[in-house]
Amino acid sequence: MPEDMTLAELPPHRTWARGGTRPVLALHCSLAHAGAWSGLAEALSGVTVTAIDQIGHGKACDWDGVSDLHGAATAAAVQMAEWLGQGQPIDVMGHSFGGTVALRVALTRPDLVRSLTLVEPVIFAAARGQPVYTNFRARHLDFARLIVSKGREAALRMFHGDWGTGQGLEELPDRTRTYMLDRIHLIEAQNPVLLDDAAGMLAPGGLEAVAVPTLLIDGAASPPIIDAVHKALSARLPHSQRLSVQGAAHMVPITHAQTVAKAVQGHLDAC
C-alpha cells in the first residue's frame, strides 16, 4: 500500500513546501532533472510540489537500453502519485517528455489525478496527418541518425538548437553540456511512443474521457509542431484551456517561470 512505502523505495525526488499541504507532482523534460522546477515551484503558494528525477536522469537509475522507457517513467510517476495522494487524487504537471508522462498517468490511472498542467507535451503523433507532422518527423529521425553518423555532440547541437533555451551549446556550463551529452540517446528511445503512439495514448475515446481540468501551456516561439499538437489535444480534451506565452520557446517553464507560475496558480486555485 502507498502508506507503507518508505522514502528510499520512491523515485529520487525534490520537494518544495509552499505554504500548503496540497500535493503537486512535477515531471521534468528530457535532459533535465527535478531541480528544473525550482523557479516555477518557488513562485507557487498553498501547495507542496514534489518533482521526481525521471529514469536516466538526475539520481534515478539508468535506462537499461532495452525496456520501454516511457512505460518505466510512467510507472515511477504513478508510484509517487499514489504515495503523495494516499488514496486521494493530486495535481500533476509535466513539461515536454514529462508532459506526455503526466497525460499517460491521467489516461491509465484517472483515480490519481485531480488536475493536469501540460507544458508542451511532446506527443507528436497527435499531429499525424498534417504536413507539419510529416516535416517534423523527417527532421526528428534525421536527428536520431545523427547520433550514429556524426556522434552525440552533433546530435545534441541540433536538438538544443530546436528545443533549448536559446543559448548556444558553447554558452552552457561544461557540467551541463556533459550531462546532456551523456543522455542524448534517451531522446531517440522515446520515439515509439512520441512519434508513433506505441502506448495508445491517442486511441479513440481516450482523451475524451479525461474528466479533469487541463491547462495546456506553450511558448509562442516554439517549433510549429507544438501548436499542431496543442490544437489536436485541446480539441479532444473536454475540460482544457490553452495559454501561449509570447516571447518564449520550448523551455518556457524555466525561461518564463514567473509567467507560467501565475497561470498554474490560477489553474490550481480554480480546481
CB distance 102 to 121 below 8 Å: yes
Query: Do the Cβ atoms of 249 and 225 come closer than 8 Å?
Result: no
Residue range 2-7: mean pLDDT, rounded: 50
Q: Answer with the residue of higher pLDDT: 91 or 148.
A: 91
Q: Look at residue 166 in the predicted model and tell me its pLDDT.
A: 86
Asked if the model's pLDDT at residue 156 lies above 60, the reply is yes
Residue 6 pLDDT more than 60?
A: no
Is the pLDDT at 244 greater than 50? The verdict is yes
Average predicted confidence (pLDDT) for the chain: 95
User: Between vectors from CA 180 to CA 99 and to CA 148, what angle results, nearest 5°?
Assistant: 100
pTM: 0.95
pLDDT of residue 217: 98
Under CATH, which architecture does the 2-124+198-270 domain have?
Answer: 3-Layer(aba) Sandwich (3.40)
Please tell me the predicted confidence (pLDDT) of residue 149: 82
Which triple of cell numbers denotes residue 195? 512519434
Is the CB of residue 197 less than 8 Å from the CB of residue 99? no
CA gap 94, 12 in Å, rounded: 16
* R_g (Cα) of the chain, nearest Å: 17
pLDDT higher than threshold 80 for residue 101: yes
Q: What is the pLDDT of residue 167?
A: 86
pLDDT score at 72:
97
Mean pLDDT value of segment 254-266: 98
User: Residue 252: exposed, middle, or buried by beta-carbon count in 10 A (0-12, 13-18, 19+)?
Assistant: buried
* Three cell numbers written together for 147: 547520433
pLDDT tens digit string along 54-70?
A: 999 999 999 999 999 99
The pLDDT assigned to 2 comes to: 44
- Per-residue pLDDT, 45: 98
Q: Residue 144 pLDDT more than 90?
A: no
Q: Is the pLDDT of residue 75 over 60?
A: yes
- The stretch 205-231 carries a mean pLDDT of 98
Question: What gap in Å lies between CA 27 and CA 37, rounded to an integer?
Answer: 9
Instruction: Return d(Cα 125, Cα 143) in angstroms, integer.
Output: 17
pLDDT of 1 above 50: no
- Does the structure show a pLDDT above 70 at 245? yes
Percent of the chain with pLDDT over 70: 97
Residue 3: pLDDT band with limits 50, 70, 90: very low
**What b/e string do you get for 138-166 counting C-beta neighbours within 10 Å, with b at 16 or more?**
eebeebbebbeeeebeebbbbbbeebbee
Q: How does strand 13-27 pair with strand 90-95?
A: parallel
Quick: pLDDT tens for 12-56: 999 999 999 999 999 999 999 999 999 999 999 999 999 999 999
